[in-house]
Amino acid sequence: MANRGGRRAAALCLALGLVLAGVGAAAFYAAGVSLQGLPPGAAPPSLPDSGAGSDTVALSDDAAGHPAATLVLEQIQLYFNAINNRDYPTWTQVVSDDRAAQQPREDWLRGVGSTTDGTIRVDRIADLDQGRVLALVRFVSVQNPDDGPPGLKVGRICWRAALPMAGSPPRLEVGDAASTLGAPC
């Protein structure tokens, strides 16, 4: 019996350690520090005094070195252009069919609301399984505070997002809500 209790305690400690490591990694990323690889060669863009800033997507030196950088840049630029221009047909072309099916046009337009995105930068592109990539992106959104997400009803939000992408050209997949962090800025 004592041996079984010892195994349970060890398993609990291992599980707790894994959870703490995951939380630490999330906090590390949220702080803007790369988990591996080269640090960005240029500092992230400065926040504009007001508004969202330029809507042109930029790549860090690290992201630019990835073999899929050009395709990822083009797709993410189209993604943000679609949001800023309320262009649902373009948006459906740069997201996966599953993601588009989850957000019919009227739902998508309601979700976009008055949002304008800018100061967009791909900090990193990481390889995933089966030819997929993960784009680590930061951007600024401005909107009517009423259009902000629940718990973040403010006029300007700084976002950090982990955007999984698949295919050629890579299309944005359905992501996990926990992979996008936002704070007033």
| Residues 101 and 10 occupy one common structural domain | no
Asked if the model's pLDDT at residue 108 lies above 60, the reply is yes
Asked if the model's pLDDT at residue 11 lies above 60, the reply is no
Question: Per-residue pLDDT tens for 55-74?
Answer: 999 999 999 999 999 999 99
| Residues 1 and 46 occupy one common structural domain | no
* Counted domains in the chain: 2
Number of alpha carbons in the 13 Å side-chain half-sphere of residue 114: 13
| Residues 68 and 25 occupy one common structural domain | no
| Residues 8 and 52 occupy one common structural domain | no
Give the tokens for residue 55.
């809507």
What residues have CB less than 8 Å from 150, skipping those under 6 apart? Answer: none
Task: Please compute the mean of the pLDDT values over residues 83-100 and round it to a whole number.
Answer: 96
| Predicted pLDDT of residue 128 | 95
| Residues 6 and 95 occupy one common structural domain | no
| Predicted pLDDT of residue 171 | 95
Q: How far apart are the first and last CA of the chain?
A: 55
Which CATH number does the domain housing residue 57 bear? 3.10.450
| Predicted pLDDT of residue 35 | 41
| Predicted pLDDT of residue 73 | 97
| Predicted pLDDT of residue 24 | 37
Question: Per-residue pLDDT tens for 22-58?
Answer: 333 333 444 444 444 444 445 556 888 889 999 999 9
| Predicted pLDDT of residue 27 | 37
Asked if the model's pLDDT at residue 20 lies above 50, the reply is no
**DSSP-H helix ranges across the chain:** 2-30, 61-64, 69-85, 88-94, 97-102, 105-112
Range of the domain at 129: 38-184
Nearest to 153 by CA among 180, 115, 119, 120: 115
What residues have CB less than 8 Å from 69, skipping those under 6 apart? Answer: 59, 63, 122, 125
| Residues 27 and 43 occupy one common structural domain | no
| Predicted pLDDT of residue 39 | 42
